[in-house]
C-alpha cells in the first residue's frame, strides 16, 4: 500500500461583502474619515460655502440678477460715510452691551434662585424656558402690542398704578425708550438661556467647597464671590460668548418692534443689511454690512476661548 500525501482540494477563503466591509471599517484610517465626512459636508455646504459667498459678495458690486465684479473694500469704505450705518454701528454696541450685561446679572440671580429648594421646582424650571421656546417673531408681536402707542398695556398699568403720568412714554417713538424696549425684549428672550446654563454650572460645583467655606466663617456674599463666581467663570465665559454673537446678529426683535426706527436709532446690522441688500437689491453692500463686525467678533471669540482654555487647564 503506497503511502503518500493526500491532496485535499481547498478553495481559498473569500469573505462575504458584509465581512469585507466590516473588516474595512475596522481600520481606523477608514472609519475615522467615514464618521467625519457627513459633518464635514454639512459644514462645507451650510457654513463654509455661504460664508465664502458672503465675503465674495461684500467685495463686489453685486446687485440682484445683474452681472457683478470685484471692487475691493469700496463697500466697507462707502458704508462708513452713511449716517444710517454709523448710527447702526453704535446701536449694535449699545444694544449688545446693555442686553448681555443685564442678562448676565439677571441670569446668575435667576440661576441661584432656581438652585434653591423650591416648591414645584421642575415646573418653575420648565416655565422659565418658555420665552426661549416660543418663536421670537410671535412673542415680539406680543411685546409690540404691549408697547403700542394706542393699546400699550405697559403704559395703562403704569398710569393706573400711579407710576406714570398720562399718556406715558412713547416707547417705540423716542430713541432712548425704543432702545430700552428692544433691549428689554432681548433680555426677556435670552434670559432662560443664561439661567439654565448657569444653573448647570452651579449644580456642578461640589457642595464640600461651600461647607468648607462656611466652616471657615465665610458669609453668603463671600461664598458667592470666592467660591461660586470663580467656579462659574468658564461657563459664564461660554454663555457670554454665545450671547454676544447672537445679540449682535439679532434681527427679529428689531424688525418686528421698531423696523429700525425712530430715525434709525434701533437699527442693527441684520436689519440694515436686509433693508439695503434685499429690499433695495444691493447684495454687495448688504453683505458688507453683515460682515462689518466679523473681524471684531473673531477677536472676541479668540480671546474668550483662550480664557476658557486657560481656566480649564
Partner 1 sequence: MDAINRRRFLTTTAGLAGILAAGVPPARGQQREISYLCWNNFAPASDKKLAEIGPRFTKDTGIKIRIDHIAAPQQAAKYASEVQTQAGHDIVEMRMHFPWLYEPQLLDLSDLVAEMEKKYGKVVSSATEAAKVKGVWRAVPQYHAYFAPAYREDIFKKAGLKIPDTWDDLYTVGKELKKMGNPVGIPISQNYDSISTAGPVLWSFGGMEVDKDGKTVKINSSAAAQMVEWYRKMYKDCMEPEVLSWTDSSNNESLQQGKAGWIHNPVSAYIVARNMKLPTADTINHHRSLAGPAGRHETDVPRSIGIWKFSKNVEASKEWIRYLIGKKEVYDEYIMSGDAFNLPVYTNLQDHPVLKTDPKFANLKGEGVQYHIYGWPAPPSDKIQLITNSFILPNMIAKAVTGSSTKEAIAWADNEMKKIVAG
Q: Binding partner 1 by CB under 8 A: which of 260, 268, 273, 292?
A: 260
Report the residue from 32, 173, 206, 219 that binds partner 1 according to the rule CB under 8 A: 173
Q: How far is 111 from 125, CA to CA, in rounded Å?
A: 10
Sign of CA dihedral 120, 125, 130, 133: negative
Kindly tell me which of 115 and 170 has the beta carbon lying closer to partner 1: 170
To the nearest whole angstrom, how small is the minimum distance from the Cβ of residue 172 to partner 1? 4
According to CB under 8 A, which one of 207, 279, 295, 310 is a site residue for partner 1? 279
Instruction: Determine the Cα–Cα distance for residues 230 and 237; give it in Å rounded to an integer.
Output: 11
| 75, burial (CB in 10 Å: exposed 0-12, middle 13-18, buried 19+) | buried
**Minimum distance between the CB of residue 151 and partner 1, rounded to whole angstroms?**
8
What is the rounded distance in angstroms from the CA atom of residue 135 to the CA atom of residue 151? 23
Q: Per CB under 8 A, does 72 bind partner 1?
A: no
The reply to whether 237 sits near partner 1 by the rule CB under 8 A is: no
Return the half-sphere exposure (C-beta side, CA atoms, 13 A cut-off) of residue 294. Answer: 12
Select 152 or 197, whichever has its Cβ closest to partner 1. 152
In the complex, what is the shortest distance from the CB of residue 68 to partner 1, in angstroms, rounded to a whole number?
A: 11
Among 178, 195, 235, 268, binds partner 1 (CB under 8 A): 178
Q: Nearest to residue 104, comparing CAs of 230, 203, 190?
A: 190
Per CB under 8 A, the list member of 66, 69, 122, 207 interacting with partner 1 is 66
What is the number of other CB atoms lying within 10 angstroms of the CB of residue 43?
12
Q: Can you give the binding site for partner 1, defined by CB under 8 A? A: 63-66, 78, 81-84, 148-150, 167, 170-174, 178, 258-264, 274-276, 278-283
Amino acid at each position: 500500500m503506497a503511502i503518500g500525501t493526500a491532496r485535499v482540494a481547498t478553495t481559498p477563503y473569500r469573505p462575504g461583502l458584509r465581512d469585507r466591509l466590516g473588516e474595512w471599517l475596522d481600520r481606523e484610517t477608514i472609519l475615522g474619515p467615514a464618521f467625519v465626512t457627513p459633518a464635514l459636508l454639512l459644514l462645507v455646504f451650510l457654513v463654509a460655502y455661504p460664508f465664502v459667498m458672503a465675503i465674495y459678495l461684500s467685495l463686489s458690486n453685486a446687485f440682484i440678477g445683474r452681472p457683478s465684479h470685484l471692487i475691493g473694500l469700496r463697500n466697507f469704505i462707502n458704508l462708513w460715510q452713511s449716517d444710517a450705518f454709523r448710527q447702526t454701528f453704535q446701536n449694535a454696541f449699545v444694544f449688545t452691551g446693555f442686553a448681555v450685561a443685564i442678562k448676565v446679572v439677571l441670569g446668575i440671580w435667576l440661576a441661584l434662585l432656581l438652585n434653591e429648594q423650591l416648591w414645584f421646582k421642575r415646573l418653575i424650571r420648565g416655565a422659565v424656558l418658555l420665552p426661549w421656546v416660543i418663536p421670537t417673531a410671535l412673542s415680539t408681536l406680543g411685546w409690540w402690542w404691549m408697547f403700542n402707542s394706542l393699546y400699550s398695556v405697559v403704559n395703562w398699568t403704569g398710569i393706573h398704578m400711579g407710576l406714570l403720568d398720562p399718556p406715558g412714554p412713547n416707547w417705540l417713538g423716542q430713541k432712548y425708550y425704543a432702545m430700552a424696549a428692544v433691549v428689554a425684549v432681548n433680555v426677556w428672550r435670552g434670559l432662560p438661556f443664561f439661567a439654565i446654563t448657569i444653573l448647570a454650572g452651579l449644580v456642578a460645583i461640589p457642595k464640600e467647597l461651600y461647607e468648607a467655606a462656611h466652616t471657615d466663617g465665610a458669609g453668603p456674599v463671600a461664598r458667592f464671590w470666592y467660591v461660586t463666581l470663580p467656579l462659574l467663570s468658564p461657563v459664564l465665559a461660554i454663555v457670554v460668548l454665545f450671547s454676544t454673537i447672537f445679540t449682535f446678529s439679532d434681527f427679529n426683535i428689531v424688525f418686528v418692534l421698531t423696523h429700525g426706527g425712530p430715525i434709525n436709532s434701533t437699527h442693527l446690522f441684520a436689519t440694515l443689511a436686509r433693508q439695503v441688500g434685499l429690499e433695495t437689491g444691493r447684495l454687495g453692500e448688504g453683505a458688507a454690512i453683515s460682515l462689518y463686525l466679523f473681524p471684531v467678533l473673531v477677536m472676541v471669540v479668540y480671546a474668550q476661548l483662550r480664557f476658557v482654555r486657560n481656566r480649564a487647564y
